[in-house]
Every structure is written in C-alpha cells, then in structure tokens.
Amino acid sequence: MFHIVLLGPEIPQNTGNIGRLAVSTESTLHLIRPLGFELDQTKIRRAGLDYWPYLRLHVHDSWESFTADQKPEAPAFVSVHGKKSIYERQFSASDYLIFGNETHGLPHQFYEHYQNELYAIPMPGKNARSLNLANAVSITVYEGLRQINQWGFGSGA
C-alpha cells in the first residue's frame, strides 16, 4: 500500500495519529530526521493507541538516505504551494506521499526540484494558511484509496 513520508515532523501527536492511519490503511510510515520529538515519547504512543506495535515504520537520517534506500518513483509532494489538486493525481498502491513539517512545510528547494510532483488539497476557506498535518495526510491517503478502489465498494475513481 502507500508509503507516507514525513519530512522533519515536529508534533508527536500528529505523528502518532498518522501512524495509526498507516496501520489502518496498511501503509508504511517513513520519518525523515530531524524529528521534533523522541519516538519513545508518551504523546506519540498515546495518539497511536495500541496500534503502534503493528506500524511498519522506517526512520531515515536524511532525505538523501531516504531516496537512496527507497528509490521512490513518481512521488507526490503535498503542500499548500502545489499548483495541482490532489484530485488531479492518478494514484497507485505503491505511491510515496510526501509531506513537510507542521511549521515550515517542505524544504524550499523541493518547490523547484519537484515542481511537477507538487499537489495541494483545495481549501476554499480564505482565513486558514493550511490544514493540520494529520488531516492532510488522511485526506490524501483516502483519496488514493478511493481511486484504487481498495475495498471493492462502488466503482472506484
């Protein structure tokens, strides 16, 4: 299933919730250092509840070590600065869905280097800068699952 990639996550509760989502959707979670917390913190475990032992988790020291190890093909970078909607993307079950951290988003160089792979979640509200990271990951993962018709309900995309 999907690979959820968090670049330098800062808030343990978000990462715990995303870990729980990963277990629930049979996705793999990749965390790329630096992390804004210790993985053994109570807050991350509490947010992940008793799902945490079932999580397929990989921690990478840097973006470079992640790409060397995983070699992601056709990654989808999700950012408020994306020029295309996630609803325009054709998802496949092995996609890498990549998210920046809670306060700074993706590293600035990504906006140039990966501009053709940048997607945004439409936000009609004019007074919000962004969605909560865990919510953005959930929206993206479930749009991907809808497209690939993971559970055989309805017609899929």
The answer as to whether 19 is a domain residue is yes
Secondary element (H or E) of residue 29: strand 28-32
The answer as to whether 156 is a domain residue is no
CATH number of domain containing 77: 3.40.1280.10
Residue 50's pLDDT band, with cuts at 50, 70 and 90, is confident
The answer as to whether 88 is a domain residue is yes
What DSSP letter does each residue of 109-133 carry, written as one string?
Answer: HHHHHTGGGEEE-----SS-S---H
The dihedral through the CA atoms of 4, 85, 80, 66 has a sign that is positive
Percent of the chain with pLDDT over 90: 75
Q: Identify the pLDDT of residue 157.
A: 46
pLDDT in tens, 7-36: 999 999 899 999 999 999 999 999 999 999
Rg (CA), the chain: 15
Give the domain range for residue 70. Answer: 3-148
The dihedral through the CA atoms of 60, 62, 64, 67 has a sign that is positive
Q: Identify the pLDDT of residue 104.
A: 94
Give the integer Cα–Cα distance in Å for 137 and 19. Answer: 10
Distances (CA, A) of 111 to 53, 82, 95, 122: 35, 8, 19, 18
pLDDT in tens, 130-140: 999 999 999 99
Number of folded domains in the chain?
1
The answer as to whether 153 is a domain residue is no
Residue 153's pLDDT band, with cuts at 50, 70 and 90, is low
The answer as to whether 157 is a domain residue is no
- Residue 43 clears pLDDT 90, i.e. is over it: no
Q: Identify the pLDDT of residue 129.
A: 86
Mean pLDDT of the chain: 91
Global confidence as pTM: 0.92
Going across the sheet that includes 76-78, the strands are 56-60, 28-32, 3-7, 96-99, 76-78, 118-120, 84-85
Q: Identify the pLDDT of residue 59.
A: 96
The answer as to whether 15 is a domain residue is yes
- Residue 90 clears pLDDT 80, i.e. is over it: yes
Residue 156's pLDDT band, with cuts at 50, 70 and 90, is very low
